Amino acid sequence: MWNYYEGKSIMVTGGSGFLGTAIVHRLLTTTSVSRIYLICRGGVGKLRARWREWLPQGMADAMCDPSRLIVLDGDILVPNLGLSETELEAIRNTTNIIIHAASSINLAAPLKRLHGPVIEATETVANIALSCKMLDRFVYVSTAYSNTYLYPHSQDVDLKIEEEFYKLPSGCDALDELEEVREYGTSTAYEAEDFPWSYGYAKHLTERLLLHRFRESNEKLLIVRPAIIGAAQALPFPGYNMPMSSPYTMFTAALLLFPYRKLTIATRLDQPDMQVTSDEVPVDVVADRLLCHLAMGTTGCVHAVSGARARQKMDSFVQPVMKLRNIPWNVKAKWIKADWKSRKQDALSRLYGIMGTSFNFLETKTTSMYEQLSEKDRMGLQLFKNNDTGSYLPARSEDIRYVMDYFARRSWLAWLIVMLFYYSFGKASQTSRYAKL
């Protein structure tokens, strides 16, 4: 399976980010790719500094080896990614695969702010891809939550989402929606549907725009939909994480600092403590699913999720968090019958939106693909989640502390709580972070 990558030339956006780093590491350490073009604002210096922050120095320096990694100082928000004509020609003449993993994941941002980094950036990368003379595949990293608008239309307690493309009930044309968003910062289709965040709609629209762009070569398009990406279970090393890109790490830090006894959460479920689920998937599972489906020729969309087998009940997630809490009272969920945008919720619940829901993201394509792999190809693959949050949450204490300090710099109350209850929590040197490696 890995032989597919032998001699291939690959361009990666978002390669300095949480998922992108895991993808690039896997490609460099497991495959025989000829070169990777990595688009990084600030060039190789910025990339090396970022990787050294979250990877062991030796690993970061080895990945920056210029014999196979070509770092281009570019920006997904500017025309042609800010690349020179010489750099663009090199990409157009040699690139076989483009993996577009760069994106904003700001759940609080309005659509007009996400339009550039999510929708227009993908349009730019797709246009470059379609000009590549030797392009075999284009991979777009979307989100499993791009179809959350289906939830208000259903009465299912546990909403099943297939690995397929769902059309909005409005039936609007994606190109018309794009023009509306460009002109008005929103669209008729978006206003008609109930997405928990504009981020979900931006990803949904982008998927449909890609289907249009690749309508004459749809065998080249692969869309990967991760659930909530979390720390690695094995690769590049156990516990690898970029905490500000890990929603559950941020949510855990927020819960540990939450000063009240009750967190008000909207739900329509009758027994939310037992029915609400969350799907956090290790970052290396996402990376390996993407690369395996790419190598095996999968087209269309695939879910990179924990799925029904390994997702968690709300209670099994919250209990381990409460064991880390140093404030002398725990936080309990106060469930109210309301929709996910209700102002009756606490701000934290309203931000995450889907806290009172349950989504069953199917992973049929990965299960089927796994059965086709030989025993040799299966060795070392991280295609399925094999751990649970409760068992490794204490190991994230340094990452949680990183987020706590971020909150403390922005809120006097968070700063006070950190000083009073978490002064030494999660404090460790950079050396100790990698002591077990």
Q: What are phi and psi for residue 294, nearest 5 degrees?
A: -60, -50
Peptide bond preceding 259 in cis form (omega within 30 of 0): no
Q: Is the dihedral of CA 187, 193, 199, 201 positive or negative?
A: negative
Q: Is 63 helix (H, G, I), strand (E, B) or coil?
A: helix
The one-letter amino acid code at 235 reads: L
pLDDT at position 184, please? 96
- d(C-alpha 202, C-alpha 104), whole Å: 10
Residue closest to 334 by CA, chosen among 345, 325, 347: 345
Inter-CA distances, 378 with 28, 87, 297, 371, Å: 18, 37, 17, 9
Task: Measure CA 418 to chain center.
Answer: 28
Inter-CA distances, 274 with 95, 173, 277, 278, 334, Å: 49, 39, 8, 12, 14
pLDDT at position 387, please? 64
- d(C-alpha 410, C-alpha 161), whole Å: 37
Question: What pLDDT, in 10s, does the model give residues 360-401?
Answer: 999 999 999 999 999 999 999 999 998 665 556 777 899 999
Cβ–Cβ under 8 Å, residues 252 and 228: no
pLDDT at position 296, please? 97
Q: Which residues contact 431 (CB under 8 A, 6 or more apart)?
A: none
The one-letter amino acid code at 382 reads: Q
Beta bridge partners of 223: 140, 301
Q: What is the dihedral of CA 300, 201, 253, 362, to 10 degrees?
A: -30
Q: Is the dihedral of CA 290, 291, 296, 300 positive or negative?
A: positive
Provide the terminal-to-terminal Cα distance of the chain, rounded to the nearest Å.
Answer: 28
The one-letter amino acid code at 405 reads: D
Which conformational region is residue 17 in: left (phi greater than 0), alpha (psi within -120 to 50 degrees), or beta? beta
- The alpha-helical segments, DSSP class H, found in 354-396 are 364-372, 375-378, 389-392
Can you give the pTM of this predicted structure? Answer: 0.95
Q: Is 282 helix (H, G, I), strand (E, B) or coil?
A: strand
- d(C-alpha 29, C-alpha 236), whole Å: 9
- d(C-alpha 239, C-alpha 392), whole Å: 8
pLDDT at position 150, please? 96
pLDDT at position 390, please? 53
The one-letter amino acid code at 340 reads: W
Using 70 as the pLDDT threshold, list the residues of the chain that sit under it.
387-392, 429-437
